[in-house]
Structure 1
Amino acid sequence: MEYVIKELLHPEEDDEANFIYSELDSQRRETRRVEFYPSGMCFAYGGDMGQDEVLNPAPFPEDLRTLNRPGEVEVRAIPRQLFIEVWNQAQERPDGFMGMFY
């Protein structure tokens, strides 16, 4: 498994996630995802949360830098433990992303 974060540096809409954490399988396809929104809401998909149809069926590229758009979008690999912490927080906290800081 590999783990990535996609950060939208300046989301255009409040209903656009500004942080997306993804777990990728050996074919680089999403198996789990957590989305955080500027409003503080968060949603988890895949794994025990179900809703696998929401996951992106297209594989992520080997070189994540090809997804970057300077000043707009940054995609990078993250450690497994960070993804697990974020995944667990999304399960435990109904108050979303901001609740991770209190």
Structure 2
Amino acid sequence: MTRTYLACLWHHEHPDEPVELYSELDSKRWELRKVEVYRKGHGDVAGPGVQTGDTRLGEAPCPPLEEIAATPELEPRVITKEEFEAVWRRYATSQ
């Protein structure tokens, strides 16, 4: 199964919303796992058998990178599986 890994910086002033988003996507761009990191360093996760905070997997396939990047406050990029796994381990095991 082909997987894609995304990281997205979200530039905003909302203190209770995440500023970094990480997603593991399947070949049809559905989220399999997600990490949301907040301004003060706390993170929440969602995936098979785990869900913390208000973090939930998307209810629709993730849009293409270019479409995400068209939103001025979002700064998306493709990352490696290893980068995603490092972030996942950091926040999924700290719960």
Give the structure 1 partner of residue 46 of structure 2: 45
1:27, distance to aligned residue in structure 2 (A): 1.1
Q: Does 1:56 align with 2:58?
A: yes
Q: Provide TM-score, normalisation by structure 1.
A: 0.77
Amino-acid identity (%): 34
Unaligned runs of 5+ in 2: none
Within 2, Cα distance between the matches of 1:60 and 1:66? 10
1:87, distance to aligned residue in structure 2 (A): 0.3
Does the aligned pair in 2 maintain the 1:65–1:76 contact within 8 Å?
A: no
Which portions of structure 1, spanning 4 or more consecutive aligned residues, are displaced by more than 6 angstroms? none
1:49, distance to aligned residue in structure 2 (A): 1.4
Give the structure 1 partner of residue 33 of structure 2: 32
**Which structure has more helix as a fraction of its residues?**
1
Give the structure 1 partner of residue 23 of structure 2: 22
Q: Provide TM-score, normalisation by structure 2.
A: 0.82
Within 2, Cα distance between the matches of 1:39 and 1:50? 20
Within 2, Cα distance between the matches of 1:50 and 1:12? 25
Q: Which amino acid aligns with 1:39?
A: K
Query: What is the aligned length?
Result: 90
Does the aligned pair in 2 maintain the 1:4–1:77 contact within 8 Å?
A: yes
Give the structure 1 partner of residue 75 of structure 2: 74
Within 2, Cα distance between the matches of 1:50 and 1:66? 27
Secondary structure of the equivalent of 1:93?
coil
**Which structure has more strand as a fraction of its residues?**
2
